[in-house]
Structure 1
């Protein structure tokens, strides 16, 4: 039996690492009654301000139907509201409410600590190298 090539092993390692990180995010978000997608949407709005709902969906890699559902849930929790675009009625923005901002002001610093813990065994140069290598792999994969 032939051993897998290093490239196949790398794929497995990348996927398992991503799943482990997603689990940390899932547990962290769940402490605040959020799922990872809701947390991701709030994080985008927290750092970038109001965004067209379609743009948010692309950034968090979910379909237009799914992003509508997530925004609905965040509206029910009073963390987000919708605002129509005055120039283009086809565009609707998601806007973080004061309650959503207060929540993120409270939980985002703790989230940063959790992510720091994930990368605690790497120094700054190793983290930057990881980012660079994974970007290169991702760009190459898009061309395949």
Structure 2
């Protein structure tokens, strides 16, 4: 193995460790913030998707928030009991059921989301706006590159 290839491999390993630690640190803080609203992180993420999309097929929620379909069902049930969302059968295709945020869910999320967004923003204070854009693009490229390898 040439020194250049070895150096590149070491850089890849270092990036993996640093990326993993940064993700864990940021997610730990984000989850702590989400719990302030008496929601699990999965409940919060489902509600956030519905807040922005308003209605989405249940089958697509897991892809949006990276959780299993069983977890989606469990969290949809919990949010439905809290009357923040509802299930809506599709009129055209009986196999499809939508999750839809309720008016109460919208009102509640209108109140809590600005504080959550501010919390996330404060976690990113080490980077300038330009660095955030660059990091976002690099991470997208990194993620897409790994998808192409499967």
Q: Please, what TM-score do these two structures have when normalized by structure 2?
A: 0.90
User: Which is greater in Rg?
Assistant: 2
Q: Please, what TM-score do these two structures have when normalized by structure 1?
A: 0.94
Cα separation, 1, equivalents of 2:113 and 2:42:
15
1:16 paired residue number: 21
Cα separation, 2, equivalents of 1:125 and 1:58:
28
Q: Which runs of 5+ in 2 are unaligned?
A: 1-5
Which of 131, 134, 142 is matched with 1:126 structurally? 131
RMSD: 1.5
Cα separation, 2, equivalents of 1:89 and 1:6:
51
Cα separation, 1, equivalents of 2:112 and 2:25:
20
List structure 1 segments (4+ residues) > 2 angstroms apart after TM superposition: none
Count of equivalent residues = 143
Which of 135, 141, 145 is matched with 1:136 structurally? 141
Q: Which runs of 5+ in 1 are unaligned?
A: none
